Structure 1
Amino acid sequence: MESKSLQAPKWARFLNSMILIILVILILIPFLHVLAVSFNEGVDTQKGGIGFWPRIWTIENYKEVFKQDNLLNGLMISLFRTVVGTVLGIGLMSMAAYALTVKDLPGRRFFTFFIFFTMLFSGGQVPYYLVLSQLKLTGSIWVYVIPSLYATMNILILRTQFSQLPYSVIESARIDGASEWLIFRKLVLPMSKPVLATVTLFTAVGHWNDWFAGTFYVRDANLKPLATLLQEMLTQQSALSDILLRSAGASSYAALDKITVTGQSLQMATIIVVLLPMILSYPFVQKYFVKGITVGSIKE
């Protein structure tokens, strides 16, 4: 009887379900439109009227995307920075967050304030580039990994989660002689899977979608990640289409007639290519979002 009294009334559950369904539809509508345009002929797309189904099917947009010479190499660079950067970043950030929850840690409040203070101010882009240059990171693949090992917001999120874990479980382990490393690895991490999965997903998406670092910090084309290569290709293709559209010469009109891929259709295909790996990997971490945060804890 007590469990039933804690349940929400039927009308409230129905209202929540309807709101969630509406939100899902609102999210799917633009995605389906992008998918339809990516498979539609570019010139036909400019006429408008493309909804959620291509009017003239084509894969030329994706062929243009995969024509990039360094595409496979860029894919490997993106996979390297995403996997290595996420694993190292989550490991170091979670250890730092756990250290900040230890009450007898000397200078704990100072370190917490110091980490939070970095969220409020930035040294600027030029000093940041000079620091990377002095560290010999510019032009290196590690420029994608090392500067992003620590994210202040993620550390604070993890710290908040760790501080809410049952203190009796951790204290019992300490009384039994467990080291802090053993407590962190065997108790804290298993009980924090949902928040770890969330932070991992955010970190991986940030690495995968980042094109800025490859554009401004790396000159070697063999070290550019996939997002940077697609961004450069999109910029070049859009510029070429604009030049031909604005030109009034007969030769330009003849060249324009041969164009089936436009900047808009190419942009949509690029979005799908970049998003697809993240979409496919999401189901593997989604289950942790609905798990309890005190798995294995004792009842008090």
Structure 2
Amino acid sequence: MNDFYKLSAGERIFRVVNIIIITFLCLSVILPFLNIFALAFNPGKDAERGGIYFLPRMWTMENFKKVFEASNIATAFGVSLFRTIVGTISSVLLTAMAAYALKSKTLPGGKFFMMIIFFTMLFGGGTIPFYMLLSNLHLTNTIWVYIIPSLYSAWNLIIFRTFFQQIHPSLEESARIDGYNDLSIFMRVIMPLSRPVIAVIGLFTAVGHWNDWFTGAFFVRKASLRPMSTLLQEMLTSAEAMRDTLNQAAGSTRYQLLDKIQITGNSLKMATIIVVVVPIIIIYPFVQRYFAKGVMIGSMKE
């Protein structure tokens, strides 16, 4: 506090404005989550009457019971867990290996390959050609449709390449003198030094796999191969139909319908958000110490 009064008038105003802006931004993120929490743990019948903001008016677990009542929820959770773990590890490893090769200034055609990779970020073939490609490769209706098409990401590759270029070449030269080959240098020298970028790319990749419902909805017909996000999306669709029915009902008819049900589309939606988000929130603290450093990749050059 004493340091604050030592500042000039302009610096005090600047600091106060910064605090106000940061507080407003924090509230804009926290308050919606509190509202989701309140609606998820409040009975749907009561929540439809309004007045629920940051705390449940009546506590209940019925919304979550409805989410986990689905007969194939355990199978869907297993599919999501498998694709997230296998897809994240394989994608991070293979993308890092490709980036390590492309960061070499002596690689023949390195600039050409980077131009082609960057070109894929600007243009896409579209959903129908992509489906035809997956079908011809016999990937549709298999567990590998979640993993193989997403093994490489041009954006992640560029981030890895930028980070590897900042590692001093003398480390690799010393390893070569000790008799290490390229693979040994990559696994024993480069990867241990790349924990920040691995944490960032790994977290983003895992979140992408965990939250992806589109692939299971459009490229997989077997119910046993659909991930949890797709299953919950289907449940939300049916719940939204229930909510539309309530909204179209008027006056006493609407309240008669509310008296007959405990779970509504909105309450089920909020419970679903909690179920999907919590696993990622649990993982984040374990990579937080690397995350702050990793997000600054490429912002400084020697």
**TM-score over 0.5 for the alignment?**
yes
| Structure 2 segments unaligned to the other structure (5+ residues) | 1-7, 296-302
2 CA distance for matches of 1:80 and 1:244? 38
Does 2:194 align with 1:192?
yes
Q: CA–CA distance in 2 between the matches of 1:255 and 1:264? A: 15
Alignment-derived partner of residue 164 in structure 2: 162
SS of residue in 1 equivalent to 2:122: coil
Work out which of the residue numbers 98, 101, 108 in structure 1 matches 2:100: 98
Query: Which residues in structure 2 correspond to 1:140-289 (within 5 Å)?
Result: 140-243=142-245, 245-246=247-248, 255-289=257-291
Deviates more, 1:121-130 or 1:159-168: 159-168
* Distance in 2 of aligned mates of 1:19 and 1:240: 40
SS of the equivalent of 2:220 reads coil
Counterpart of 1:260 in structure 2: which amino acid?
Q
Q: Could you say which residue in structure 2 is the equivalent of 1:79?
A: 81
- The structure in which a higher percent of residues are helix is 2
| Secondary structure class of the residue paired with 1:153 | helix
CA drift at 1:24:
3.6
Q: 1:256 to 1:51 in 2, by over 3 A?
A: closer
Q: Is the 8 A contact 2:243 2:266 kept in 1?
A: no
Shift of 1:254: 5.1
Q: In structure 1, what residue type is equivalent to 2:239?
A: Q
Q: What SS does the corresponding residue of 1:126 show, helix, strand or coil?
A: helix
- Residue in structure 2 matched with residue 60 of structure 1 by the alignment: 62
Where in structure 1 are there 5+ consecutive unaligned residues?
A: 1-8, 294-300
Count of equivalent residues: 285
Amino acid aligned to 2:162: T
Deviates more, 1:118-127 or 1:172-181: 172-181
Distance, in Å, in 2 between the alignment partners of 1:50 and 1:281 is: 29
Amino acid at match of 1:158: F
**How far apart, in 2, do the equivalents of 1:13 and 1:241 lie?**
46
What whole-Å deviation, never above 9, does each CA across 1:14-49 have from its counterpart, x for those lacking one? Answer: 987776555444322111111111011112222222
| Kept after mapping to 2: 8 A contact 1:245/1:256 | no
Tell me the amino acid that sits aligned with residue 211 of structure 1. W
Kept in 1: contact 2:45–2:258 (CA 8 A): no
Q: Check conservation: 2:45, 2:259, Cα contact below 8 A.
A: no
CA distance in 2, matches of 1:15, 1:188: 43
Residue of structure 2 equivalent to 1:69: 71
Change in CA separation of 1:59 and 1:159 when aligned onto 2, cut-off 3 Å: same
Normalising to structure 1: TM-score of the pair? 0.87
Query: How far off is 1:114 after superposition?
Result: 1.0
Deviations, residues 256-289 of structure 1 (Å, cap 9, x unaligned): 4211211111110000000011111111111222
Question: Matched residues in 2 for 1:20 and 1:197: separation?
Answer: 26
Q: CA deviation at 1:208?
A: 0.1
> 2:101 touches 2:107 (CA, 8 Å); kept in 1?
yes
Tell me the residue number matched to 2:50. 48
CA gap of 1:106–1:154, structure 2 versus 1, over 3 A, is same
Counterpart Cα distance in 2 of 1:269 and 1:191: 40
What one-letter code is carried by the residue in structure 2 that aligns with 1:131? L
Match of 2:298 in 1: none
SS in 1 for 2:50: coil
| Alpha-carbon distance between aligned partners in 1 of 2:137 and 2:102, rounded to the nearest angstrom | 28
Aligned-residue CA RMSD (Å): 2.6
Query: How many percent of aligned residue pairs carry the same amino acid?
Result: 53
